[in-house]
Structure 1
Amino acid sequence: MTAAEHFFRFGQSEGRSPNAALDLTAYLAANDDVRAAVEAGTFDALTHLLTYGFAEGRDLGNGVRLTDFAADSAFTDAVAAQDAHAALARMAAVAPFFPDFQAPAGWQPATDTPIPTDFTPVDGAVLRVPAGVEIPEGMTLSRDVFLPYLTVTVEEEVLRFGGNAEGEITLQRVDGTLVFTREGESVTAAGPAAEIALGDASLAAPAGALDGTAVTGTGTVILSGLEAGTDLSGRPPAST
């Protein structure tokens, strides 16, 4: 028996929600007419969602509206085929990636949660990778679908950047760790680095933040906080 089948057999009657993307209490709170009908005994919340809510583009009450899925064929095809299991599964797979998604109390996505790279958002909408979800090595997410993100990896004390964020990278040393920011996304280096492989990017940092760390690549390093006449001859190279 699948998780979805178990829910439809037992969980629904026990007042449970079928997945983290759907909080039936929040659904009722966001839809007064549905709540009134449920209180009158006309139907239960999930039956309304499956029968009417999908087609009506209802607000789920957790920062996600079903109209957010209007351009996604995997969802709309499931709704058109009246395949509730498939529609709920698609909603569960994508909803946590909406920037305004409000997760249930105590819920955290697994680090290996699949990233819905095949999702088609409505015009002007984008997804965000939730905190704690790891982006597989070598995967680059389209800026047409996902908000800018920055990755920082350290292997054999060589630090490298990844992700689809663009523009200048800024560096701060906080309690001995290196914190990098690009397009508003901040990432803490997972370990000590003797070298920063900058590539062709630009890096801005306080002068002291790079002490003991070499910077290689063809990019530009902008140091702040230097006093006039500071001797840079002993500092790590800024490029190779």
Structure 2
Amino acid sequence: MNLLEGRAAIVTGSGSGIGRAIADTFLRYGAKVVLNDVHQAVAERARSQMSHPEHCIVVAGDITEPAVVDSIVGRCRDQFGQLDILVNNAGISPGGLVKTHSMDEWQRAFDVNVEAPFFLAQAALPLLMTSRAGRIINIASEIAFHGMMYQAAYAASKAAVNALTKCLTRAVSRYGITANSICPGVIPETNLVKGFTEDRPEYAGILKFYQDTCPLQRSGLAVDIANVAVMVASDLGSYLNGQLVTVNGGTF
């Protein structure tokens, strides 16, 4: 079933991890996709390994730069003639305790995780308004709800993403556009989690704890998040709006 046939999507941070899984799953369901990663080579490699590379293009660059935001949206318009789905997935998580977080790291987390999605949504709005099924999907995190000792900037910025989703819902629903957050649990295959486990041996125990306490008795996969994104992006999710959808296997 081609749930996304005839639709065009932008997926930021789609060179790896959850973003890459979302982009590839969108392609499998019939969408055309703009891939974005801060590194050109990473994005190009991801494109070459997609299920339908002929249906996606790469626009690399740092999404905190206004010219990159304009380029991503403009290339989607020029290449596909439309934009139906914006997935704000790109994110960073500078580690550090509250007492050691630097101002620069804190600000950078908010620049990438919150400010860039806002301005991408703003730039995408004129095209989304012409879609029969416009969607904004923000990838947040379950730790936005309960915090984490080593990831104060990440948790706080993802809570802000959820607030942004609520604000966008109020602003764009009148145009037939929905806005929702997907809040993944721990996905070990992502670079974000790998980075923490490599640098902090105690995280291996934390990951095992998450797996053992999950009712499904397994860790999450990037494709688990991608499958939910397809539902939200398709006609199946047409009445889902303003929601913060936690996808963590039922972990409390």
TM-score bucket (shorter structure)? under 0.3
Q: Greater strand share, 1 or 2?
A: 1
TM-score when normalising by structure 1: 0.25
Larger-Rg structure? 1
TM-score when normalising by structure 2: 0.24
Comparing both chains, which one has the higher relative contact order based on Cα–Cα distances under 8 Å and sequence gaps of 6 or more? 2
